[in-house]
Amino acid sequence: MSAEDRQNLHAFRDYVVKTLDPTYILSYMAPWFKDDEVQHIQAEKNNKGTTEAASLFLKFLLELQEEGWFRGFLDALGHAGYSGLYEAIETWDFRKIESLEEYRLLLKRLQPEFKTTVNPKDILPEISGCLISQECEEIIQVCSNKGLMAGAEKMAECLLRSDKENWPKTLKLALEIEESQFSQLWIVDKDAKNVELKVLEDDEIETSDIQIFYKEEPECPNLSQNPSPPSASPTFTQLKPRNYQLELALPAKEGKNTIICAPTGCGKTFVSLLICEHHLKKFPQGQKGKVVFFAIQLPVYEQQKSVFSKYFEKLGYKVAGVSGATSEIVSVEEIVENNDIIILTPQILVNSLRKGTVPSLSVFTLMIFDECHNTGKHHPYNMIMFNYLDQKLGGSSDPLPQVIGLTASVGTGDAKNTTEAMEYICKLCASLDTSVIATVKDNLEELEEIVYKPQKFFRKVKLRTTDRFKCIISQLMRETESLAKKIFDELGTVTLENVFQIQNRNFGTQKYEQWILSVQKTCILFQLPDKEEESRICKALYLYTSHLRKYNDALIINEHARMKDALDYLKDFFANVRAAGFDEIEQNLTWRFEEKLRELESVSMDPGNENPKLQDLSFILQEEYHLNPESRTILFVKTRALVDALKKWIEENSELSFLKPGILTGRGKTNQNTGMTLPAQKCALDAFRTDGDNKILIATSVADEGIDIAQCNLVILYEYVGNVIRMIQTRGRGRARGSKCFLLTSNADVIEKEKINIYKEKMMNDSILRLQTWNEAVFKEKVLQIQIQEKLIRDSQGKVERVPDKENKKLLCRKCKGFACYTADIRVVEDCHYTVVGDDFRKCYVSKLHPKPKSFGYFEKTAKIFCSRENCSHDWGIHVKYKTFEIPVIKIESFVVEDIATGAQKLYAKWRDFLLEKIPFDAAEMSK
């Protein structure tokens, strides 16, 4: 930056201080601010307020001497959503922000009336575009935690700091729509009526889009031959596409349904931007196109939404998005109707088509499927395309949208030769109604200069020669199995005689995990005439099988990580056992474990028992960082438990601790672990991508697809192998020049499987080349015949009408089989949460404060609920504050469903699998 820019920033500091909440951009400024400065700014906001925090932030900012901080500051403003402030500083023209001063003064005077007369939840969807996305989230939380008046006060504070030129008029419109009394007090300038329609038109995109902001560095800026200079405004329209990108886009620009198959890192997102722009501009005056872009994973959805917004909003198009994280807050119908480009997670459209809120796919003129190789079986992509193909083959006269698929690999399925692979690819084309597969052929040399295919290395390592830890745990497992078997012997029944019989059962394997889950399911559904005896037996078997499963998990950790990590995993488990019911069986099992604990600790601390795999992994990392100290590594592993174990190992290893590992796992919850939240995923990626302290990212499969981490130059697959698609995706994470990819394993079969994947990749490429030689009419006819055949199969199977079961049933605790409630007392809240009404159910559970209380939508999670029967304490769900009501929310996987008439029992993993008659929650019932 120039001295003039620093001087200007100092001169205009009052505008910045009045507008900016620095805590919203601190994460983007991490490369320039020290940790103690960040903490100081956050403390200043907590203790003295936002304005003082902004002043302190600006003081630290103006003291910076490092190159690039000014551009970093501008980019941070853009990423956080401060578009008005960004524009003002970019041009050093603050007139638009200055023009808002009279409305700020007016709102300050009217703040008491605003607080008492405005319902913030009612107007938030309309004015959200005038606020920062985090402010919207905070307003919702304040409403839930402290009530509507506090929420209105928070909203007023946010509006007073808004840098959006249109916020006074947007607020006026929102108040009028909701017929708020405050509308009569809120008077905007006289010619407002002349622009109200324009405001609604231009800003509808923003007004309904409340989201958790997730920024990913898009592929696009790195792919231009003449990128924008540092001082230029960050607009994608300045980018010049490469020749290979134009080649990939050509069939789609000609209006053909196309699958674009090109390597990770080549800029397929930018290609999709080119296609969208061409598509939207081709319509004659009076007609408009409408594009929908699908992304499967939430981080990718956020990344693509940010990219599309930046590119198209400067061209005058309206962009918005809906994902599972925002679908309860915004109206999908309004988002689709009022925008030119809509970014969706695919299940949102599946649900909307089913409900009729989106009447048909004919509302769109172009559909783009990111990672389109997933279009198969019951994936949401396929559900959308079933709808499309039913419309196409059903003779509908309504126009269908153009279809574009993006992927790095179309895959080969189970194909064993090129002919079978061609058939598989044709079926994918039929599913997406495409007759063109676009790959780079004419500009291959240019592509290879941009996309670096990492060198692949295979490393076969030995297991420990002796494993005393495994011997001890295996003995504990045999003892636990014997205790469980004694219960069967006592019963003298044939019902479960074969349950414990399995050939070649090996502890510490995936096969044992599957077997124990099968045994546990059988035991849970075991029934006896004497219900008290049934409860005792089922609870005992549940405990034995749960302990066996944990021991098996520990052996898997021991095989791939340190004995210490496996032992810590078990110690945490037994600590939780002690904190829960801790009945006689659990006391006995805990005693057996603790009897071996001293020996286990001794074995785990013996340096002679170090895992050879970890020694080899350490060698690879030390060698690579010696050659290139600036290396960035992604270490792929199979399970979350292994992510945690390897993170601890690196942190405690004096030769590797400088890597400061970050972790990236999925958002879902498993029996063993709770997933990462979206903000946590964002922080992990930001720390890894911004040349921060994290030099290595330990990840599960969540980092396989779509997420752009351009700096990564080392990929290590630690006992991690999948199909050919996964191989291409994980290898593609290493995008920097001179990248390497290591597969590290003790299993020769894993290396053989990866070599098969390499062969399948060649087979896939050969198959695509052969298909591209086909006459397009012949290809189209082949695709049509597959579609007709698949539709016949679908129709013959019939659309089985899922009829709700209205019969009253019992819910029993899955652990102790104690009675919990009747299904007649279950009510559905907000379409997807299940509560139980009536005082009887309250007697069946106890609650404990939730370790991680949290608000989401209209819910505030306050406590966890557990079975109240003596020595059970099975987790049943959570206790929430919903609007003004305190209600339990139960999870079906914690219960057994028993038919009252027949006594038959069933297990369900998800509520959607249970055809329960859905009775909506009614506030009137709560007052009885």
Instruction: Report the C-alpha gap between 552 and 473 in whole angstroms.
Output: 9
Q: What is the pLDDT of residue 349?
A: 94
How is residue 99 written in tokens?
A: 């023009």
- The DSSP symbol for 530 reads S
695 contacts 660 by C-beta, under 8 angstroms: yes
- The residue with tokens 């009394």 is 181
917 contacts 806 by C-beta, under 8 angstroms: yes
Torsion angle of the four alpha carbons 238, 244, 245, 250, in this order, in degrees rounded to the nearest 10: 120
Q: Phi first, then psi: give them for residue 909, nearest 5 degrees.
A: -85, -30
Instruction: Report the C-alpha gap between 928 and 289 in whole angstroms.
Output: 53
User: Which of 441, 444, 436, 440 minimizes the C-alpha distance to 772?
Assistant: 436
Q: What is the pLDDT of residue 770?
A: 93
| H helix runs in 434-492, sequence order | 444-450, 468-491
664 contacts 697 by C-beta, under 8 angstroms: yes
Instruction: Report the C-alpha gap between 20 and 82 in whole angstroms.
Output: 8
**Using CA of residue 327, residue 329, residue 334, residue 338, what is the dihedral sign?**
negative
First to last CA, the chain: 68
Instruction: Report the C-alpha gap between 264 and 258 in whole angstroms.
Output: 18
- The DSSP symbol for 566 reads H
In the annotated binding site for Zn(2+), the residues are: 813, 816, 867, 872
Instruction: Report the C-alpha gap between 911 and 804 in whole angstroms.
Output: 12
Instruction: Report the C-alpha gap between 276 and 270 in whole angstroms.
Output: 10
| H helix runs in 364-415, sequence order | 380-393
Domains 241-406 and 453-459+610-768 share a fold: yes
Fold of 807-923: 2.170.150
Give the β-pairing of 885-890 and 875-882.
antiparallel
- CATH (residue range 466-604): 1.20.1320.30
C-alpha to C-alpha distances, 52 to 22, 23, 44, nearest whole angstrom:
10, 12, 7
SS3 535: helix
For 701-750, what is the HEC assignment? HHHCCCCCCCCCCEEEEECCCCCHHHHHHHHCCCCCCCCEEEEEECCHHH
How is residue 127 written in tokens?
A: 């004015």
Residues of the chain with pLDDT under 70: 1-2, 189-239, 328, 452-454, 491-505, 581, 667-675, 677-679, 682, 689-692, 702-711, 722-738, 798-802, 857, 927-928
* Percent of residues, the chain, with pLDDT higher than 70: 86
Q: Amino acid letter at 121?
A: K
The residues, ordered by sequence, that sit 6+ positions from 24 with a Cβ below 8 Å of its Cβ are: 80, 81, 82, 132, 134, 135
The continuous run of DSSP H or E covering 813 comes out as strand 809-813
- Burial group, residue 490, by CB count within 10 angstroms (0-12, 13-18, 19+): exposed
Instruction: Report the C-alpha gap between 510 and 516 in whole angstroms.
Output: 10
CATH of 453-459+610-768, one of 3.40.50.300, 1.10.3720.10, 3.40.50.1000, 3.10.20.90: 3.40.50.300
The residues, ordered by sequence, that sit 6+ positions from 30 with a Cβ below 8 Å of its Cβ are: 38, 686, 687, 690, 692
| Domain segments of the chain as ranges | 1-91, 94-182, 241-406, 453-459+610-768, 466-604, 807-923
Give the β-pairing of 809-813 and 895-899.
antiparallel
pLDDT tens digits for range 227-268: 333 333 334 445 688 999 999 999 999 999 999 999 877 888
Q: What is the spatial order of strands in the sheet that 436-438 belongs to?
A: 319-322, 341-344, 291-294, 366-370, 402-407, 258-261, 436-438
Instruction: Report the C-alpha gap between 642 and 586 in whole angstroms.
Output: 26
748 contacts 756 by C-beta, under 8 angstroms: no
Q: What is the pLDDT of residue 762?
A: 87
The pTM score is: 0.60
Does domain 241-406 fall into CATH 3.40.50.300? Answer: yes
How is residue 547 written in tokens?
A: 């302990």
Instruction: Report the C-alpha gap between 873 and 92 in whole angstroms.
Output: 63
Give the β-pairing of 662-664 and 696-699.
parallel
Instruction: Report the C-alpha gap between 707 and 699 in whole angstroms.
Output: 12
- Residue 28, Cβ neighbours under 10 Å: how many? 19
The residues, ordered by sequence, that sit 6+ positions from 411 with a Cβ below 8 Å of its Cβ are: 373, 424, 428, 723, 724, 725, 764
Q: Apex CA 585: angle with CA 582 and CA 586, to 5°?
A: 40
For 745-756, what is the HEC assignment? ECCHHHHHHHHH
Q: Superfamily assignment of 94-182 in CATH?
A: Death Domain, Fas (1.10.533.10)
Q: Superfamily assignment of 1-91 in CATH?
A: Death Domain, Fas (1.10.533.10)
Q: Amino acid letter at 918?
A: K
C-alpha 780 chain-centroid distance: 36
In the annotated binding site, the residues are: 813, 816, 867, 872
Q: What is the pLDDT of residue 308?
A: 93
